[in-house]
Structures are given as C-alpha cells and as structure tokens.
Amino acid sequence: MAINSSGESFNKVNFATPRSFATTFRSHAKETLFPDDPFKEFKNEKPLKKALQYFVPIFEWLPKYNLSLFRYDFLAGITITSLAIPQGISYAKLANVPPIIGLYSSFVPPLIYAIFGSSKHIAIGTVAAASLLIAAMIEEKVSYDDNPSLYVHLVFTATLFTGIFQSLLGIFRLGILVDFLSHSTIIGFMSGTAIIICLQQLKGIFGLTHFTTKTDLISVMHAVFSHRNEWRWESAVVGICFLAFLLFTRYLRKRNPRLFWVSAIAPMVTVIVGGVFAYFAHVEKHGIQIVGHLKKGLNPPSIQYLNFDSQYLPVTLKAGIISGILALAEGIAIGRSFAIMRNYQTDGNKEMIAFGFMNIVGSFTSCYLTTGPFSKSAVNFNAGCRTAMSNIVMAVCMMLTLLFLAPLFSYTPLVALSAIIMTAMFGLIEYEEAYRLFKVDKFDFCICMAAFFGVTFISMDVGLMMSVGLSVIRALLYVARPATCKLGNVPDSILFRDIEQYPGSNEIPGMLILQLGSPIYFANCAYIKERVWRWIREENGISNSKENVVEHLLLDFGGVTAIDIAGLETLQELKNSLDSNEIKVSIINPRIEVMEKMILSKFMERVGKESFFLSIEDAVEACRFSMHHEPKAMNGFSGNLEAP
Amino acid sequence: MAINSSGESFNKVNFATPRSFATTFRSHAKETLFPDDPFKEFKNEKPLKKALQYFVPIFEWLPKYNLSLFRYDFLAGITITSLAIPQGISYAKLANVPPIIGLYSSFVPPLIYAIFGSSKHIAIGTVAAASLLIAAMIEEKVSYDDNPSLYVHLVFTATLFTGIFQSLLGIFRLGILVDFLSHSTIIGFMSGTAIIICLQQLKGIFGLTHFTTKTDLISVMHAVFSHRNEWRWESAVVGICFLAFLLFTRYLRKRNPRLFWVSAIAPMVTVIVGGVFAYFAHVEKHGIQIVGHLKKGLNPPSIQYLNFDSQYLPVTLKAGIISGILALAEGIAIGRSFAIMRNYQTDGNKEMIAFGFMNIVGSFTSCYLTTGPFSKSAVNFNAGCRTAMSNIVMAVCMMLTLLFLAPLFSYTPLVALSAIIMTAMFGLIEYEEAYRLFKVDKFDFCICMAAFFGVTFISMDVGLMMSVGLSVIRALLYVARPATCKLGNVPDSILFRDIEQYPGSNEIPGMLILQLGSPIYFANCAYIKERVWRWIREENGISNSKENVVEHLLLDFGGVTAIDIAGLETLQELKNSLDSNEIKVSIINPRIEVMEKMILSKFMERVGKESFFLSIEDAVEACRFSMHHEPKAMNGFSGNLEAP
C-alpha cells in the first residue's frame, strides 16, 4: 500500500477555515441558555398566539378544557384542600408567623400558578424546610416575641425578594443555577431538615412554653432538657395518640397504595377530632395549648407593610434568596418527576417565572413563601388531577374556608399540629437512598452527608452551602483531572480500546496510543503534559529492550470537546519536548471546536497537516509505514530518555 | 450475516465486575494528587538516599558539581547581584518598608532555595506586584507613616503566613490550586499591575511628598494633580534622563539579544551614577529625595517581632495568602518555562515547599516576601547559569555588600529607583499577547480584561479575584454544557464523524447517532436529556416522511470519562421516555469508569446487555438487522411524537 508523507490515501481530515466568531458565539449562547430551543414554535403560523400560549400556559390548556377533565381535577382539588388547611396552619407555626397567614398562602398563590405554570401536577403550598429556614434567618435579627408585627413584615419582604429573584432567574434563563443543587445535596438536606423539624416539634409534644430559636440538634436538645419543669404529660399523651393514628394511616397507604386518600385526609381528621376534643375538654386548663383566634375574611393587602429599611435589608435579601433557591429546587424537581412519569415537558425557566410571580403577588396579599411541595403534589397526582385546574379548585375551597370556617380551627391543639408535621417529616428521611449513594458513588455520599450533618449540627444555610461547595469542588476536579487511558488493538478487529478495560488488547510495538479526556484547558494542562510523559516513561520502563521504545505517540482527540489557549500552548510544549526526544506525535480526530482553535492559533501549521488523521487505524498504518521505510536517525537514542 | 439478539457475533463488550472501592479510590487519589508519580524512584535500590535526594534536591546535584559548572554559575551570580541591589531597594520602597529590608531579602532566601528548590534557573528575589499588594493590604489597617515599626512587623508576619501557606500547599500536594490562575489571568493581572506601579512612580519622578495609599488609577491621578504645588522640575528632569538611558539599554537588548548584559547591569549603573551625582551635587537641596541612611551589617533576627494580635490577624493572613498564591504562580510559571526550554522537570509541589521554607526562614531574619521573579530569572538564564549555585553566589555577594558597601547606597536618588521600576514594568504590559487572546478565544480575553481593569480601576486583590472567578465560572460552564454532536458515516469508510464538521457524511435512515460530551453529571444531566430530545425532534422535523422517523438512538459514550448518580438516573429517565415513544436505545463503548457505575447502579441490567456495543459499526449493523427483521409494532406511531 503506497503511502506518501501527506497521507493522501487515508480518510481526509477536514481543515476548513474556522466558523466566524458570531456563528460560534450564537451557537454557544444557544446551548447554554436555550438548550430546549423555546422559539421553535414561533416559526409556525400565528406567531402571536403561539407566543402568548408560550408565556401564559393557561391560554394553551383552558380552551381545550372540558367537563370530564374537571371531574378529576375537582376531586383532586378537594383532597389537597383537606391537606392544605392543617399543613398551612402547621407550617405557619414553623415559620413563626400567625396561623392564618398559612391559610392565606394557599389561596392567592395557587391561582397565579394556575395561570403561568407549565406543570399539570404540582399543588401549590407552603413547605416545611423553607418555612423553618426563613424563621431561623429572620429570628437572627428580629424576634417574633419582641416585635411580632415587624417580624411578619420582614417575612413578607423576604417573600417579595424570593419572588423577584426567582422571576429574574427565569427571565435571564439561569435555570442552570438550580442544576447545581444536586440530587445528593437535596437528599442530605431534606433528611437533615426533617430531623431538626421533628426535634422542633418536641416543643409542641411536651407542651413547652420556652424554647430556643436555634435549629441545631445540640441547642434544641439542650432547650428540651433544661426546661424539664415545663413538661406536661397530658400534652405528650394526646400527641402520641395522634402520632400513632397518623403513622397507622401511612402504614395503610404503604400496604395498599390505593388507600392513599386515607393518609391524605388523616391530617384533616386529626385537626377536626383535636378541635372537637379541645372544645369540649377545655384542654387549655390541662396545659395543652391551642392555635387561638383565627380571623374570618380573605387575605388583607400587605404591600404597605413591605420593609426596605437598610438595617434589615441584608437579612431579608439573604433569607429571600436562599429560601428561594431551595423552594425552586423542590418545585422544579417535583414538577419534572411527574412530567417524566406522564411523558410531557415542563420548562424549568418558565416554572421559575411562575413561582416568582406567585411569590411577588403573595407578598402583596399577606402570603409567605410558597412552592410546589413534594407531599401535596404527590397527593394531587395520586388523586388523579389532570391539569392545573386542581389548584384553582383548592383556592376556591380555601376562599370558602377563610370566609366562613376559619374560626372553627382556632381550637386545634398545637400538639395535633406537631404530630402532623412529624409524620410528614418521617417520609423525607431517605436512609435507603443514602445507602444507595454510598454503594454507587462515595463522593456523592460525602456531598449528601455534608448537607445532612451541616443541617443537623450547624444550621440549614451552612449545611446547604457546604454541600453545594463540595459539589462545585467536585465539578472542578472533574475538569482538573480528566481521565486519559492507553489504547490497544482489540484482537480480530480494527478497534482500539482501553487496555485496562479490555486486557486482551494488543499494544503495537514502538507506538503509544493515548485517549485524552475532556476538556483540555488551563486548570488541567500542566497535569495532562505530565501525565503523557508518565505514560511514555512507564512504557519505556516496561519494555526495556531497544526494540519497543516509543517512537510514535498517537493522541486520540475524539473525546475532547473543548480546548483553550493554555491547552493549545501545552500541546505545543509537549510537541517540542517530544521532538527533542525523537518521538513523533500524531493527532487523531479532533472535533470541530478543537480543530478551529488549532487552526486559529497556528498549532496545526506548526505540527503539519500530515500529522493529523481521522482515525486511529489510519494513524497506526502511517506510523508503521514510516518506521519501516525511514532511515533510522536516532543513533544515540536509548530507553532511559530523560523526561522534561 | 446471522445475528442473534444478544449480538454475539460482534466484538465483546467487557461486563466484568467493577473494581473495588479501594482500587478506584487509590487510582483517583493518585491521579489527583500525585500525577507525576514521585515515588517511582523509591522502588529502586537505596531508597533512603533516594528519598533524601528527592526531598532535598541539593544532595542530588552538589555531589556531581564541578569547577567548570561553577565558572558559569559564578558569572551568572555576579550579574544577578548587580540587578538584585537596585531592585531590592526599589521594591522595598514599593512595599513601603525600609530599603535595607530589600537587601536583606536577597541574602537569606536564595540560600534556602538553593537547598530545597528543584529549578536550576530561578533567581530568588522580591517582586514588584507582590510588594505593592502587601503594602496596599496592610496599609488598610496600619499606616507606615503613623507607626513604622508596627507596619514592618506586620509585613514580617504576613511573610510568615505566606511561607506556612505555601509549604502546606506543597505538603498536601495542592499544586492544583495554582493551576486555577490561568495564563490569561496572569497576563491581565501583570499588565494592570505594571500600569498602576508606573503610576505610583509619578510620586518619585515629580518629587511629591504627599501621596495616596490607594492603588487605583483614579485615586493616583487625583493625588498627582491635587498636589501640583509640590511638583519639582529638577526631579523630573533627572528622572527622565535615567528613564531614557534605561530604555535605550532595553532597546539595545531587543536589537541584539547578546547584549542582554548591558540592560542587566544598567540599573546598577543608574544607581551608582545617581549616587555619585547626588553626593557631589547635594541634590537634597534641590528637592530630589535620596534613600537615606542604610545600616551596615547582616540581617538582624526578626522572630521576636512577629505579631499575632487578633486585631491584625485577619489582614496579615489575607495579605499573606493572596500574595503567597501570586508569588507561587509567578515562581512556578517561570521555573516551568525554563525547565521546558532546557528539557528537565520541575516539581510544582516541591517548588512550593522550597518557596514556603524560604519565606518562613525569611520572616525570622528580617526579610519580606520573595519568589522567583520573571526579570531576574531571565537574566540568570541568559547569563548562562547551570545550577542553583548562582543563587548561592548572589547570596555571598549580597552578604559582602551588606557587610561593607551598604552605606554607599544611601545617596541613591529616589527618582533613579522610580526610573528603574518603570523600565522593568514596561516589559510586563503584554498587549500583543492580549490581542492574540482576543483572536483565538474571546472568553480568555474577557478573563484577561477582568484582571486588567479590576486591577487598574479597583484594587489588585479584587481584580485577581474577579478574573479567577470568571475562570471558575468558565470551568463550570464547560461541564454544565458538554458538547454533543450528531454523527454520520464518512463516505467510503466505516468511520462515523460529526456531520457539522464533515458535511459529506451520510445519515442512516431510521437511526440517530449522537456522540455525548463529558462528563455526565448532576450539573448537566437535565441539559443532556433535553438536548437529546431536541436532536430527535429536529431529526423528525427534517424528515417528515414516515420512513425516516427515528427508530434507533445510538449513544456513543467513548468520550465520556465520568458519570455520577444523577447522570445515571437521567439515562434511566431518557431510556424510559424513549421506550414509551418506541425508540430503541443503544449504548456504545462506555469507558471503564462509566461501565462500572452502570453495573453498580443496575442500569446495565435494566437496559440489557444486548443494547451495549463496542463500536458504532456493530451497533448500526444490529439496528439495521432488527429494523428489517422485527415485525413493526408501532401502528399508531407518527412523526409528531410529543417529547417529554
């Protein structure tokens, strides 16, 4: 087979001029910010109508809505209302705001979400973790006991910031930020939060009147045991009865998933039974506290209470942003999960805008932070909801409750609420999932544990940040140490594969074939150069006979998706040091991005087109040819070459 | 060709049991922390001697040292001494410490480096950027004018922290941190620093007595023009003469590189001529300031002055760590460059330990931060040094200077020092390099400009952090949006390559072949899933005829070096949604790491071994076979499938 020095008989490598900056920039921006190609719809007929439907999804599904769908949504809406009332009151206690605000928060936000949201299964409401987080952060600055109205106003302000932050993320299409809250982080954070929330409930169960505002395990246990004189056995007995009832309904659901509605209405039953019991038994006299006065009437406006005092701005901003990210992560994750199950698409950026709008409007109408909670959305899904109409049904039910029934709930014993919260929390401790992480990926497990122990022993925001920090370090390590491997020829084929993975593969005498990892850039280029030289040294060490010393280095670039200036310079340095050791280098199959940079930086010119090949087979063939036909000019060349 | 459903006639994929955690952990730790395999030497005979030689390099080169090498090192040592004296005094002025400390800093640290350092060409000394940085940070807390001794003690303490920090980085093998100071960052930072240092020299040139402690362009220009009454024309004239002389010698060197010694000794000539002129002309009377009293004698101990007062600890720690990273980056980069030119190896981690030790000892002996400066090391290299002995020669010369000649330099006019610093700085403004960055990589150019404008308009530490922050964001974007591409068959071959890059490649009807980018993990898995579905939608959009609708999706994993739990779950979700759209998925050539995780997480079991192939050709063959032989079960299947 006749082969000339430019390797013309091989498959041709494409040396076309690089695309213009505008082209590559547009393609990068699109990949980064618009990976889902949202504008594809607008190229059809009726772009205006399409755009409206795109930005306000209710216009898409409402015209097609019909009575048979409404039957499902109505039932689902009723079911989630029965959960929304007890959860609303309970989580409001967790956030340290008056219970009625929890009920308000299930009226306005679901309406807004129904208009702008793209998920069909999310049920809107307050969430335990974010409620506690807001309370913990705002209590640092203002205590509810000292100045209740200021505290509540700051909570509204934080909710406004959450809303603004969430909608900005959506508008600037920065859904990418939420991607950095990994599954492992969320599992650890949720389990840790569940534990500290359960611990908080010891206050209600034991009927304590004094407690700590800190959330970590040690402070809470200290608060519980240092106030032993306040412990009330009556409260504890009632609490344990409710807990047993609720856990039994959970058990029922687990045994028979069709009985999910039993556990769904159990909290409502608890609240009603507890209220009736409290009313007739005059429990306050026995040290069992009740919710207390609940005002009739719809959400009063709260826009005039928003507090932008520079003294409180840092804490409201911080509380708004951190709880906003957390709420987004929960809402988007649950939305995505159900979308996958039912085979439709939710748009992360649109969801953010919907969540943002509902929190902005919420902060004007006496609501605090809402999102799509796991538990409520799961009940909604199981109850067979078909569209976001179930949220509207829930909102209407809540409106009726607020207008006529609210005072009835004022007799609810706090201990019943504690039992409801604890039961909800048990489901969030996912030890099985943590064990699976441990088995499949130790680093993921560490990220999970950082969140878990950070939350339980330090505080919620510190735990979250520790875990995200570890994830980012991991992401940086991925790119700082891309895996390279040595390839060999798989027997009876023309394939070249990793020798460690396919131990039967044959090395080719005199050649070293390496597959490079991706990307090659400033943070790893020094590593890559040193690693390549180590491969060469090891190769020469293994085969000490003069015959097998490396004469050709073949670098497979097929997997390298990106390279930067530092990477190109490193390749040049590598080439220079290889030249001075009489090793020839071949570049195999660089991808389009890499090739363009190689041409622009003149690296390709300096190396020479004849060293570029489209496949490993071609390169091996060319190297074999040059080894047999070229006069050996390496007289003094020994196996102990000194690496640079 | 008979093909059964498990694809046995193809090349076999390796489904071996994953390696144990210990094995993979050891291999990862080695790649991350010991990529250069430092322990390979210890497996030889005489491990103790080897270990000593490894940790204390002087034991390796000194026994082989001889007189002919010393001849070169002696000349180089003398040359760098002539540079060390004026630079030492100048940079000490920049750091706001007494000039004699600059001379002390060229005596002890070079000796320590000669023992522990692994580079043969670095010349140790103080550097302009780090000097100014330390001054700017410590001046924030304590002004030299108010309390000179406290200021100097804090500088020593910061130097100690630098030393401790640098040696810890080396001991824990965290050279990886320095990798995050990219070439682009350093170019921008150095150019910006050069400009603000030149501006600082306006004080000396105009003979100002009042000046600002801030470093940004606006403050400095304001200080210069608001003190116009202090301008002295005599000072300016002398300064411009010296500047012209120094620039002329630089020009000479550029025209004829062999005259490098002219520009190397020019600063010394400037200092001597300036001193003689000042002595005879009594320049102080004409408003030209001189260095002032310089004490004879070697470095006094300073260990008793180290100040760990908690009031100053934050500022000394911050100054120590930031200037330490900067000094490391400069020292390691210059060491690497010369090592590449002369074809030997420097060890980043060993270098850090050497720099760390020399700064620790320096802080005990009245020295401030030293490293391997670009300019001095280049002169050392050009003067023909062979080993670190040239540093010892310089140290001995400095000792003699300190013992006998120091007082002679007290007449040096400050304006001469300003001229020396300005000339040195002009060489650091690399506008050509910045232009090259602009042409090859716009993002690198932004990183460079962030450092440049941050340094010139805000402050040195803010500029550095902005630029590093951008680099980290870029690194995260690399992994958040890995490039996928569609592959087609290159005509007349069995190769499959990117269709965008090789436009002649043929798609295979009914199949979509995608090459995935690396790694696949939590920060990009949502993107990857959406991107894959977009490829499918686009494919179905292009070929609207029923014939060509995608039936098989072939995913090439050859370039994927890592995957985490979130990535595996995404693949599972993708597989489920493809199943429900009747699209079959094939996995091609997963690498060892990825394959192990697929087996551990049971993904492989759920997908089935028959969907794994070793090469694209095999997979295409199998898909083609199944398309022609399997009964079509997709009756209601149309081209407008709804993506999840």
B564 → closest Cβ in A25, A444, A559: A444
Q: What is the pLDDT of residue A3?
A: 42
Convert the pLDDT of each residue in B63-93 to its tens digit.
999 998 998 899 889 888 988 888 898 899 8
Residue B174 scores a pLDDT above 80: no
Is 70 exceeded by the pLDDT of residue A115?
A: yes
Percent of chain B past pLDDT 90, that is, above it, reads 23
Q: Cβ A471–B573 below 8 Å, yes or no?
A: no
The predicted pLDDT at position A635 comes to 39
Cis peptide before A519 (omega within 30 of 0): yes
8 Å CB contact between B53 and B375: no
Report the length, in residues, of chain A: 644
CA atoms within 13 A on the CB side of B548: 13
CB contact under 8 A, A483 and B562: yes
- Give CA–CA dist B294/A225, Å, rounded: 69
Calculate mean pLDDT across residues A58-78. Answer: 90
Indicate if the pLDDT at residue B2 is higher than 60.
Answer: no
- pLDDT value, residue B636: 37
**Residue B628 pLDDT exceeds 80:** no
Confidence (pLDDT) at B1: 36
Q: In this complex, do B183 and A566 lie within 8 Å of one another by their Cβ atoms?
A: yes
Residue B324: predicted pLDDT: 92
What pLDDT does A364 receive? 95
> Would the pLDDT of A457 be above 70?
yes
Contact (CB<8Å) B480/A32: yes
Residue B507: both structure tokens together = 């798609």
Residues ≥6 apart with Cβ < 8 Å to A62? none
Residues 6+ apart with CB under 8 A from B146: none
Q: Which residues of B touch A615 (CB under 8 A)?
A: 493, 495
Q: What is the rounded radius of gyration, in angstroms, for the C-alpha atoms of chain B? A: 32
Q: In what order do the strands lie in the sheet with B511-515?
A: B496-498, B485-489, B511-515, B552-556, B584-588, B612-613
Residue B540, H or E segment:
helix B525-542
Is the domain A483-629 a CATH 3.40.50.150 member? no
Tell me what pLDDT residue A641 has. Answer: 38
Task: Compute the average pLDDT of residues B423-440.
Answer: 84
pLDDT of residue B585: 92
Q: Is the pLDDT of residue A8 over 60?
A: no
Model pLDDT, residue A42:
63
Contact call for A182 and B591, based on CB within 8 A: no
Whether residue A238 has pLDDT greater than 60 = yes
User: What's the CA gap between A255 and A59, in Å, rounded?
Assistant: 41
Contact A446, A188 (CB under 8 A): no
Residue type, B334: I
Q: How many residues does the structure list for chain B?
A: 644
Q: What average pLDDT does range A461-487 have in this prediction?
A: 83
CB contact under 8 A, A559 and B561: yes
**In this predicted model, what pLDDT tens digit does every residue of B185-217 receive, in sequence order?**
888 988 898 898 888 888 888 888 778 777 888
**Dist. CA A12–CA B504, nearest whole Å:** 11
| A585 DSSP β-pair partners | A553
Give the SS3 label for residue A203.
helix
The residue of A27, A41, A44, A340 whose CB has the most chain B CBs within 10 angstroms, and thus the best one to mutate to test that interface, is A340
Q: Does A566 contact B184 at a Cβ distance shorter than 8 Å? A: yes
pLDDT in tens, A594-625: 888 888 888 888 888 889 998 898 899 898 88
pLDDT at A630: 56
Q: What is the Cα–Cα distance from A95 to A106, expressed in whole angstroms?
A: 15
Lowest mean pLDDT among A237-251, A358-372, B221-235: B221-235
Residue B637 has pLDDT above 50, yes or no: no
pLDDT band at A356 (very low <50, low <70, confident <90, very high): very high
Q: What angle do CA B590, B593, B598 make, to 5 degrees?
A: 65
A268-273: long-range contacts (C-beta < 8 A, 24 or more apart)?
A: A268/A82, A268/A83, A268/A85, A268/A86, A269/A245, A270/A86, A270/A242, A270/A245, A270/A246, A270/A416, A270/A419, A270/A420, A271/A85, A271/A86, A271/A89, A271/A409, A271/A412, A271/A416, A271/A417, A271/A420, A273/A416
Contact A343 B642 (CB under 8 A): yes
Q: Looking at A80-84, A469-473, B333-337, which range is the least confident one?
A: B333-337
What count of CB pairs under 8 Å joins A to B? Answer: 236
pLDDT score of B630? 57
pLDDT digits (tens, 9 = 90+) for A620-642: 989 888 887 655 444 333 334 33
pLDDT at position B634 is 41
Whether A339 shows a pLDDT value over 50: the answer reads yes
User: Does A478 contact B476 at a Cβ distance shorter than 8 Å?
Assistant: no
Whether the upstream peptide bond of residue A482 has omega within 30° of 0, thus cis, is no
In this prediction, residue A363 carries a pLDDT of: 95
Q: A245 pLDDT band (50/70/90 cuts)?
A: very high
Q: Which residues of A touch B524 (CB under 8 A)?
A: 179
- Lowest-confidence region among B198-202, B257-261, B366-370: B257-261
Q: How many CB atoms lie within 10 A of CB A630?
A: 11
Residue B561: list chain A partners with CB under 8 A. Answer: 482-483, 517-518, 559
Q: What angle do CA A178, A184, A188 make, to 5 degrees?
A: 105
pLDDT, mean over chain B: 84
pLDDT confidence of residue A126: 93
Please report which confidence band the pLDDT of residue B8 belongs to, taking 50, 70 and 90 as the band edges: very low
- Beta bridge partners, A486, equal A514
DSSP B400-442: HIIIIIGGGGGG-BHHHHHHHHHHHHHTT--HHHHHHHHHH-H
Cross-chain residue pair B476–A481, CB shorter than 8 Å:
no
Per-residue pLDDT tens for A219-237?
888 888 888 888 888 888 8
Q: What is the largest CA-CA distance in chain A?
A: 107
Residue A261 has pLDDT above 60, yes or no: yes
Q: Which two tokens stand for residue B96?
A: 């706001």
The average pLDDT across B22-33 equals: 74
pLDDT tens digits, B285-329? 877 888 888 888 889 999 999 989 889 999 999 999 999 988 988
How does residue B374 score in pLDDT terms, banded at 50, 70 and 90?
Answer: confident
Q: Average model confidence (pLDDT) for chain A?
A: 84
pLDDT at B547 (0 to 100): 55
What is the mean predicted confidence (pLDDT) over A180-209?
A: 84
**pLDDT higher than threshold 70 for residue B642:** no
Higher pLDDT, B566 or A368: A368
pLDDT at A1 over 50: no
Looking up tokens 């807390």 gives B141
pLDDT at residue A394 above 60?
A: yes
Among A373-382, B71-80, B539-548, the least confident range: B539-548
pLDDT of residue A644: 39
Among the CATH numbers 3.10.150.10, 3.30.70.120, 3.40.190.10, 3.30.750.24, which is that of B482-629? 3.30.750.24
SS3 of chain B: helix, strand, coil, percent, to 5: 65, 5, 30
Domain boundaries, chain B: 29-59, 67-476, 482-629
Collect all residues of chain A within an 8 Å Cβ-Cβ radius of residue B477: 32
pLDDT at B567 over 60: yes
For the question of whether the overall pTM of this predicted structure is more than 0.80, the answer is no
How far apart, in whole angstroms, are the C-alpha atoms of residue A342 and residue A336?
A: 10
Binned at pLDDT 50, 70 and 90, residue A204 comes out as confident
| Residue to substitute from A506, A591, A605, interface B, most B β-carbons within 10 A | A591
User: CA-nearest residue of chain B to A500?
Assistant: B592
Highest mean pLDDT among A333-337, A569-573, B18-22: A569-573
pLDDT of residue B4: 42
Supply the pLDDT for residue A266.
87
Residue among A439, A478, A498 whose CB faces B479 most closely: A478
